[in-house]
């Protein structure tokens, strides 16, 4: 390790220094140490920030026993490799036998009752001693170590390693939106991770009979490489038979039709008397119509239009009569309470989706075009989501009114930087949003804002 990089600063961010060579340069020990330090500390930095710390492989066959002098020793049949919190590699060769177990002060231990947790610690040792040619005394030979061996030692401790919570959803808790989860993950890495226990890597927990406690040990032994993590995520996402017990309430899915359900299958509609059912899978439509029939009505009744009352009568209609209601005759307030609630939830979901789509797509556009206005749009939409303004139609419309001005400013800022076709599609979607807002139709506004989100993701940079 070069004197320029102190041992205590290995785990900290620092400037890297390397040699600048030229003909006739006098090379000293310091120069060669600087050369080694440059590559070592660069590797440690990448290990620490990209991979983390822990056991990488091996260490499955560990044996702890008491020696004749009463001290405890540990043997590794298969060996293994690990990374400490500073990113330094710790390698234990196979068939490493009778390694001393030490306490934090470096003394041998004979009992693990109070300190059952074993840790690996990196320890460099000197080897290959050779005569020093720089010794000024010709009568006395001085030897100096010619090699540094990257070794290790085993430390017994009472401290239990911290088991990091992966942030999974607990029972009964609401499912976090994916966009919010990614945003929290980004915030977590706005600063570089610190390294509290830089010298130690948890190895194993030992029982009182000196056997390895695999139950406690297994909780802390998981260490995945980047490639393995990618493969796990890929397999997880592409697995259609892995629903994770997601309920219909979480996804807003329809559970049954009039109390009839068939998970994983169909609920068949059976045509009754004078009823026809015509499914059209290509158009995703099922037409249910009256086939007529029954007794002829006693009198011809004209349509009452959109009036709620057809007049007074002291006679009752026959049970097989048919009403021909005019347009807009059924008002929302006349629907059943259950149906009203379902429709309100559906409308609120459309408004919420429009805002969340705005957050994710405009944030992506901000990164793609390095555009501050796109980030402002995304931030405004995120604040609206956090305030749940989508729950009330009036609040949602008021926010869209403010958002329209920001969207126009964004369009002005990217004009000329994107292709004509993609910019034209985005402007048309923006114009349709303005028309929908002027109509006062909240559902139309939410749907059109979703269109704006779609076309902002389709914007293409000019070649």
Which stretch of DSSP H or E encloses residue 325? none
Q: In what order do the strands lie in the sheet with 80-83?
A: 54-58, 80-83, 89-92
Q: What is the DSSP letter of 165?
A: -
* Length in residues, the chain: 463
The model carries a pTM of 0.47
Q: How far is CA 192 from the centre of its chain?
A: 18
Q: What's the DSSP call for residue 390?
A: G
Contact 90, 106 (CB under 8 A): no
Q: Which two tokens stand for residue 253?
A: 């899915």
How far is Cα 318 from Cα 325, in angstroms, rounded to an integer?
17
Angstrom distances, CA of residue 28 to CA of 2, 31, 32, 41 = 12, 5, 7, 20
Rounded Cα gap, residues 206 and 211, in angstroms: 6
Tokens 């599609």 correspond to 425
pLDDT tens-place values along the chain, 463 residues long: 444 455 556 677 888 889 999 999 999 989 998 899 899 889 988 888 888 788 888 888 889 999 999 899 999 999 999 888 888 999 999 999 999 999 988 899 999 888 889 999 988 888 888 887 766 555 667 788 888 898 999 999 988 887 654 444 444 555 455 566 667 666 766 777 667 655 688 888 888 888 888 777 766 665 665 655 666 676 666 666 666 666 766 666 777 877 788 877 788 888 777 788 888 888 888 888 877 655 454 455 555 555 555 555 555 555 555 555 555 555 666 677 788 788 888 888 888 888 888 888 898 888 888 888 889 989 998 998 898 888 888 888 889 888 888 998 998 888 888 888 888 898 898 899 889 889 888 888 888 888 988 988 888 888 6
Strand order in the sheet with 200-205: 62-66, 72-76, 96-102, 143-157, 117-131, 200-205
The CA-to-CA distance between both ends of the chain, in Å, stands at 49
Instruction: Tell me the Ramachandran region of residue 322: left when phi exceeds 0, alpha when psi lies from -120 to 50, beta otherwise.
Output: beta
């Amino acid at each position: 390790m070069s004197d320029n990089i102190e041992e205590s600063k290995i785990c900290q961010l620092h400037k890297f220094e390397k040699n600048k060579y030229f003909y006739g340069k006098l090379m000293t020990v310091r120069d060669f140490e600087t050369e080694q330090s440059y590559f070592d500390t660069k590797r440690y930095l990448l290990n620490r920030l990209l991979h983390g710390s822990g056991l990488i492989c091996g260490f499955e066959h560990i044996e702890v026993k008491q020696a004749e002098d009463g001290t405890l020793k540990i043997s590794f049949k298969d060996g293994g490799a690990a990374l400490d919190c500073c990113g330094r590699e710790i390698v234990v060769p196979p068939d490493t036998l009778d390694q001393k177990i030490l306490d934090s002060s470096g003394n041998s231990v004979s009992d693990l009752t109070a300190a059952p947790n074993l840790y690996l610690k990196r320890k460099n040792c000197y080897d290959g001693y050779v005569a020093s040619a720089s010794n000024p005394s010709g009568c006395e030979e001085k030897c100096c170590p010619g090699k540094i061996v990257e070794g290790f030692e085993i430390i017994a401790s009472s401290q239990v390693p911290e088991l990091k919570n992966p942030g999974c959803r607990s029972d009964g808790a609401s499912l976090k939106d994916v966009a919010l989860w990614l945003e929290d993950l980004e915030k977590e890495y706005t600063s570089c991770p610190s390294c509290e226990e830089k010298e130690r890597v948890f190895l194993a927990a030992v029982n009182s009979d000196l056997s390895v406690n695999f139950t406690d040990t297994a909780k802390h032994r998981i260490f995945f490489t980047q490639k393995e993590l990618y493969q796990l995520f890929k397999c997880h996402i592409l697995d259609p038979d892995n629903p994770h017990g997601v309920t219909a309430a979480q996804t807003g899915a329809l559970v049954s039709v009039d109390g009839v359900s068939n998970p994983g299958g169909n609920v068949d509609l059976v045509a009754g008397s004078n009823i026809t059912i015509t499914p059209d899978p290509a158009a995703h439509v099922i037409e249910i119509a009256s086939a007529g029939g029954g007794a002829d009505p006693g009198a011809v009744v004209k349509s009452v239009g959109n009036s709620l009352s057809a007049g007074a009568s002291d006679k009752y209609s026959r049970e097989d009569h048919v009403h021909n209601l005019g347009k807009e005759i059924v008002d929302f307030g006349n629907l059943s309470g259950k149906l009203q609630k379902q429709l309100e939830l559906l409308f609120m979901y459309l408004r919420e989706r429009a805002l969340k789509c705005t957050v994710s797509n405009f944030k992506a556009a901000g990164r793609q075009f390095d555009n501050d206005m796109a980030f402002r749009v995304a931030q405004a939409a995120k604040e609206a989501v956090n305030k749940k303004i989508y729950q009330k139609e009036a609040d949602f419309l008021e926010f869209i009114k403010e958002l329209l001005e920001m969207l126009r400013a964004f369009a002005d800022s990217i004009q000329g930087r994107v292709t004509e076709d993609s910019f034209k599609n985005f402007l048309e979607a923006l114009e349709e949003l303005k028309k929908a807002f002027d109509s006062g139709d909240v559902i139309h506004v939410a749907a059109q804002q979703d269109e704006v989100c779609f076309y902002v993701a389709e914007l293409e940079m000019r070649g």
